[in-house]
Amino acid sequence: MAIWVATRKTGNMNMAVTQLEPYILKGSIKVIDRFFSVPVDYAKPDGPHIRVFVRNLIPLVEAKGSGTDAAESDLPYLLYLQGGPGFGVDLSLSVDLGNALHKKKYQTLWLDPRGTGLSTPITADIFQTKQMDDEAIAKYLKHFRADNIVRDCETIRHFLLDGKKDPEARKWTIFGQSFGGFCAATYLSFHSDGLKEVFITGGIPPMVDSPDAVYEALVLKVEERNQVYYAKYPQDVRNVRRILGFLEDNNVVFPNGGNLTVSRWLQLGVNFGSHGGIDRVHQLVFRAITDLDTFGKLSYGLLNSVQSAQSFDTNPIYAVLHEPIYCQGRMAGWSAHRVIQKNDRFIWGKVKLMSDNVPIYFTGEMIFPDMFQDYHHLRPLQGAAELLACDEDWPMLYDKEALKKNKVKVNAATYYDDMYVDFGLVQQAASVIGNVEQLITNQSFHDGIRKHMENILTTLFDLSKRERD
């Protein structure tokens, strides 16, 4: 139930904010949920609006004189920017990471980026209900990249902090994981005056204008992780080949109506980039082989497990904008598909003709045209995805000159073996951004903030001190 709705003039637009009734979580964490009405296109503030959801967690034990609104408002804000693109905030992470950040005497904000979670989520059926054609859908989706996510953040910051007398108190700290780090770099490029400090984990973005260089680099890491997989589970060389042979000869349909094709099975390799991912894929292979031995087909349980392991049906932005998040004035042109075609080890049509001891490689965090046929809820977006892949009209996401002059402290955890954000491209980008300090480690993968949260946070906050021997 809403306890109040406020309308405020911010810049050249009127903004409506709905705040829901606060409640208290275990551990004396006060929760305030807010919805902000923001324009789809900031260049047209009087045009269509969407709602953006942000959850405010306030550690009452850290607020001096807790129990008063004034004491709570004195705690500085830290805004968490979610990875993706296309994912809302993971509430389990907001509890675990939130508790750790609250001990640093922050109150935290957890944003569902526009089009995700509770922020007017994008799903194919919504476009069908509105009877939008492919061109209209593509035009709409172009407003859901980092540039507009940052504009949403600035709208929220102005609402929460413009009333502060001290100019420094009108700034906040941001924490970007993965794609959230990309958004942080966009923030630093165009709105650094709103930032007090920046933390990034696995997300200093490659400073490119199209994704080709990204996938040319990442495919080498994906190859490496495939080699680790097959060295750990050599029996899966033949097992995976057998599964793909079955999929090639049979029409296998998921519970939700999607198709389990050769290409879609190989997309399970996206898991290789996270802690425990290789083992999770092996368990799916083991179960599939057991099904074939026992039933001569793949069971409902296995199909449901694979469907649940792949998030594109429920997070379509992850598919349609995954390559355009790199574009600045150039088209994506199905970059990953073009790059992967250069390496026969990823091509089942070629590997199946080789000796049965030759492994077929799984693919990584990559988007392919056939996904818009194989995933049930991506099918209505196929035409729009093709238009976006061929679109060159993408605005700039980074200002290198502004980044070189950056004075805001940036504290980043960078993973040498990251399969999603290439280490070499990260170092090139880090050399462009001023005032960056990095924790560089080969002991964590891309999801290190989950696996090694305490160690990573301790080091990042030590880096923040900028103390030198």
Catalytic residues: 178, 418, 446
Q: If we measure between CA atoms, which residue out of 387, 450, 374, 385 comes closest to residue 83?
A: 450
φ and ψ at residue 199, rounded to 5 degrees: -115, 135
Q: Which helix (H) or strand (E) holds 173?
A: strand 172-177
Q: If we measure between CA atoms, which residue out of 409, 420, 431, 370 comes closest to residue 173?
A: 409
CA dihedral 18, 19, 21, 27 (to 10 degrees): 150
| Other beta carbons less than 10 A from residue 326's beta carbon | 24
DSSP class of residue 169 equals G
With contact defined as beta carbons under 8 Å apart, do 256 and 377 qualify? yes
Q: If we measure between CA atoms, which residue out of 228, 188, 235, 227 comes closest to residue 207?
A: 188
Mapped onto helix, strand or coil, the DSSP state of residue 354 is coil
φ and ψ at residue 224, rounded to 5 degrees: -60, -45
Give me the residue label for tokens 């990260």.
Answer: 426
Contacts 24+ apart (CB under 8 A), 369-374: 369/334, 369/337, 370/261, 370/263, 371/263, 371/264, 371/267, 371/312, 371/319, 372/319, 373/259, 374/258, 374/259, 374/260, 374/261, 374/263, 374/264
Conformation bin of residue 446: beta by default, left when phi > 0, alpha when psi is -120 to 50: alpha
